[in-house]
Amino acid sequence: MKTLAKLPVTIVTGFLGAGKTTLLRHLLAHAEGRRIAVIVNEFGELGIDGEILKQCSIGCSEEEANGRVFELANGCLCCTVQEEFFPVMRELVARRGDLDHILIETSGLALPKPLVQAFNWPEIRNACTVDAVITVVDSPAVLAGTFAAFPDQVDEQRKLDPNLDHESPLHELFADQLASADLVILNKADLLDAEALAAVRAEVAEELPPAVKVIEAHGGELPLDVLLGLNSETELHIDSRRTHHDDEDEDHDHEEFDSFHVELPEAEEARLLAALKDAVAKYGILRVKGFAAIPGKPMRLLVQGVGQRFDRHFDRAWQADEPRVSRLVVIGQQLDRAAIEAELQAALA
């Protein structure tokens, strides 16, 4: 019988579009026999990331995969710990003899520190330990000063108001994700030259504890022994890491951010992308992700956009009983849902 030692947990955090899901897919595809449970914290009404992860080749049936991926859909983990995270962890603790590792992907808007602190709860601390908090950084976006590739309206508003703090809410969130990190991955490093990458590394280092290592990656492709088995026991010293949100009296609820999903008709790929890019530019949308129906194509198109940068590929065939419609999650700040939806519908009519 397997000894029920503490089960290691890796928390993967990072801003919108940094590449967290891609990193998890890489980990699961190269698990080398490890029995890994995955908790996906989805920001938005659709379980897009959870569905992406279920497609990974992780050596189990679809039924088994459904039992290993937990989607927490009611906001970010730091806001839903008591309502959803605890019951999920309690179930995994009961099954820890069958598991080797737990991976948690937080929302791009989540604060890691409250989640790590939850591992000091009595029913969790005796069974699990935080092996590491891994913060994934979108290197080109940091170089651009946006942290995620979105228009600069927030920063412009900040500059016009001398009463506002010197850092935007997005910068504070970015800094808080770094402050909780045991390992930082400068993702998409292949998109920058050496000088630009050095500038990103220097900016990130300003927000980090001295002992935190920073490594570079392309598409989250790193050896598992670099990512797992760090034995950081982060929950034991997380309280000593100061963040911007430590002194807040009220529960933070990410009021700055909105998300909604939209259903769109079939449309040619180029036409769909043009409509989405126009909406991003006009309304300051941070992130678009979901699945699209392309006329004449038997497979659905997986779309993931950060600012004006869109990645897409055909992921699987449409099922016989599945409606051929495009379903997308739109994430941003103070979004005019009705206007965005109407504009997209009109552009694709």
**Domain harbouring 74, CATH code:** 3.40.50.300
User: Are 111 and 146 a contacting pair, CB within 8 Å?
Assistant: no
Q: Which of 220, 246, 272 is the last residue of a domain?
A: 246
Question: So what's the pLDDT on residue 255?
Answer: 47
> Shortest CA distance to 190 belongs to which of 233, 219, 159?
219
Region 246-265 average pLDDT = 66
What value does the mean pLDDT take over residues 291-306?
Answer: 90
Mean pLDDT for 95-106 is 87
pLDDT reading at 89 higher than 80:
yes
59 confidence band (pLDDT: 50, 70, 90): very low
pLDDT for 79 beyond 60: no
Same domain, 235 and 141: yes
Q: Please check whether residues 315 and 343 belong to one and the same domain.
A: yes
Residue 55 pLDDT more than 70?
Answer: no
Q: What is the mean pLDDT of residues 325-340?
A: 88
* Residues above pLDDT 70, as percent of the chain: 75
Is the pLDDT reported for residue 82 higher than 70?
no
Give the range among 75-79, 166-170, 289-293 with minimum mean pLDDT. 75-79
* Overall domain count for the chain: 2
pLDDT band for 248, please (50, 70, 90 cuts). Answer: low
- Average pLDDT over the chain, rounded to whole? 79
More confident residue, 209 or 274: 274
My answer on whether 153 and 239 are in the same domain is yes
**Structural domain for 298, as ranges:** 259-348
